[in-house]
Chain A
Amino acid sequence: MKRQFLRAFLCVASGFFLAAGPAAAQQKVKIGFITTLSGPQGVIGADMKNSVELALDHLGHKMAGLDVEVFYGDDQVKPDVGTQVADEMLKKHQVNFVSGIIWSNVMLAVAPRVTAAGTFMIGTNAGPHELAGELCNELFFTTSWQNDQTPEAMGKYMTDAGLNDVYIMAPNYAAGKDMLTGFKRTFKGRIADEVYTRLGQTDYQAEISQLRAKEPKAVMVFYPGGMGIQFMKQYSEAGLRGQVPLYSVFTLDELSIPAVKYAALGQYETRIWSPDLKNPANEKFVRDYQKKYGGKLPSFYGAQSYDGIMLIDSAVRAVKGNLADKKGMIAAMRKANFNSVRGKFTYGHNHFPIENFYLLKAVAGPTPGSDPVMEVQKTVFTNYKDSYGKDCKMK
């Protein structure tokens, strides 16, 4: 009995020392990457994860000579699950960076928790206005945009095109409201109606009937992921495509095109990135992504996630692998000193990018029978800043 106890004690003790050894020396860069990996929105998470893996391949799985370890977490589109996953990454895995996050409601729950723990939060998609303004934090950076900006670009384009009586729709959650607020900020024409639907809704027939009755001249929607696929299909099925032109943000992308196919032709989007954007970093990213993942095109979610890893790498290199030097890493990240797939951009004082926004159009694919592809038409905004920086107290 006594001997058994002693043996057990030795086992536990040796395990403890083995575990404690490397942690004390901090030999690794640990990144916790949170995205949605299960359920209908899991396609987005898969694309982001693929892009992170590709970024690590390009970096040789090392940053400033240190090995990189990434822990993936699934938020299931739920803020409470997101915080649980983040807590596990912070406490159990002791990560140096938390990254990713698609949804604004999840981001609003997770980001303050991560930065309060003294850890970096590197967002790669969601850009709720609170984090650009009053809740800005020196440990928070994003490689995406502030939610309002992309629809602001669409509003500008549609105003310039002289459109009026526009019917606008979005899901009823943090980002949906940001998106339509942004659109209304720059769109100067009449708005026929503003409609919010349930987050994750599958059937839009009732809303489409209402829409048709209003006889708008154009429709502008924000329906990310699976919601967009459903909405666009039902819009076509209701016979509205061709009758009332559809404009969108974060709705038609490389993930939804395979599902809606030709119905997408001619639809406009605004974005910071497109697979056909001409710069060496992007050409390498798109080419290697297609090579690694069977010819599939990456989406903007993936492009931003790829940039997130590259941003972290730029900071780790700047401090020569000394991960305790947070001040040094903040200073390095503020320079955005890496080859972004969107081309050169800078950071505002609130750590949101100041970047270009393009108008994209779905055009016929390269070969007959292939799916439509997104193509850059023109630049709507050059070096465009978000509207909430004035509420951010950081210098």
Chain B
Amino acid sequence: MNLLLVAEQGLNGLQLGVMLFLMAAGLTLVFGIMNLVNLAHGSFYMIGAYLATYFTQLTGSYVLGVLLGLAGTLAVGVAVELLALRTLYEREHLDQVLATFGLILFFNELAAMLWGRAALYTSIPEYLSGHVDLLPGLRYPLYRLVIIVLGLAVAGLLWFVVARTRLGMLVRAGASNRVMVAALGVNIRLMYTIVFGFGAALAGLAGLMAGPIYVVQPGMGELILIEVFVVIVIGGIGSIRGALAGALIVGMVDTFGRAFLKPALATVLSPAAAQAAGPALASMLIYLLMAVVLALRPRGLFPARL
């Protein structure tokens, strides 16, 4: 029984990790390749969730809603890159932080104006709801399993694109030396737009998958963004491999901390002390982990190879 609980919590951790990875992949690529700090990445997560909800209601089909939501987020990402962020590449990081923070406020208010401040309710389609008996005594929600499988598939695809295709090669080259790549005749501006757009779409994918299990509301992206920054700091900024490792580590550590830290502390401390310290420590755990990683390996676990 206890072992089954650990397995179930492992799946919970994996599911959280996969969501964090989809967010972190785009953020880390944009930072690594374009040297741009984009605080507004959480906004794409929110836009993905809203657009998918909207299109699902409009078309009456979940699959169509998801596809249109993804395409919509990609389009918004490309538009933001062309209109707003292009002017920021040559500026300092502080300017980028200020400008993209402004974008957060803009998108949150826009969502509130279009869809209202109240949380939107989206439901999981019939064929994805319900449970699967993975093992006798281990029931798991089907929808969360789908998230895990889809997330891992996207991670694999991303690895393939970056490591095995021509576009991926250019992306890696751009990350190491932008000026040289541009000098060799590659349209680096176009590449930036593509990378940014796909990063936004990945965040949108995470958001639209999160919609039915959390709630769709203005500001939902910022709730997850801090954890995503922890992920890329732990994994190493600019590295997809690092983002995957960081996301899985953070997902697992956070989930197991919340589930087992209090009972574990209760075996060494008094129950009252464990009750007081457990929840507080569990919510700090990923930040403590980040501090340790920063102290031992300041560039993260898998720094981008230069």
Contacts and interface: CB of A to CB of B under 8 A. Distances in A.
B121 A237 contact: no
B9 A206 contact: yes
Given A237-B143, A237-B213, A172 B283 contact: yes
Contact of A233 (B144, B215, B283): B215
Interface stretch (B54-62, B79-87, B216-224, B293-301): B216-224
Contact of A209 (B5, B118, B282): B5
A42 B219 CA distance: 10
A332 B116 CA distance: 40
Contacts of A229: 119, 215
A200 interface: yes
Nearest to A170: B279
Contacts of B259: 206-207, 209-210
Contacts of A197: 258, 279
B214 interface: yes
Nearest to A205: B12
A209 B9 contact: yes
A226 B129 contact: no
A165 B40 CA distance: 45
A282 B280 CA distance: 41
Nearest to B283: A198
A259 interface: yes
**Size bracket, chain A contacts:** 20 to 34
B65 to A, nearest CB: 19
Contacts of B217: 40, 226
A237 B258 contact: no
A261 interface: yes
A376 interface: no
- The A interface, classified by DSSP as helix, strand, loop or mixed, is helix
A300 B224 CA distance: 30
A40 B223 contact: yes
A80 interface: no
Contacts of A40: 119, 215, 217-220, 223
Nearest to B4: A213
A302 to B, nearest CB: 14
A389 B291 CA distance: 45
B5 A237 contact: no
Interface string A232-261: 011001110000000000000001001111
A43 interface: yes
Nearest to B130: A239
A193 to B, nearest CB: 9
Contacts of B258: 197, 206-207
Interface string A188-229: 000000111110101101110110010000000000001001
B93 interface: no
A230 B12 contact: no
Given A40-B119, A198-B283, A238 B141 contact: yes
Interface in B250-270: 255, 258-259, 262
Contact of B139 (A230, A239, A255, A259): A239
Contact of A202 (B121, B141, B214): B214
A203 B213 contact: yes
23 contacts: A40-B119, A40-B217, A40-B219, A42-B117, A43-B117, A43-B119, A194-B275, A196-B275, A197-B258, A197-B279, A200-B223, A202-B220, A206-B258, A206-B259, A207-B259, A210-B259, A226-B215, A239-B131, A239-B141, A258-B118, A259-B215, A260-B121, A261-B121
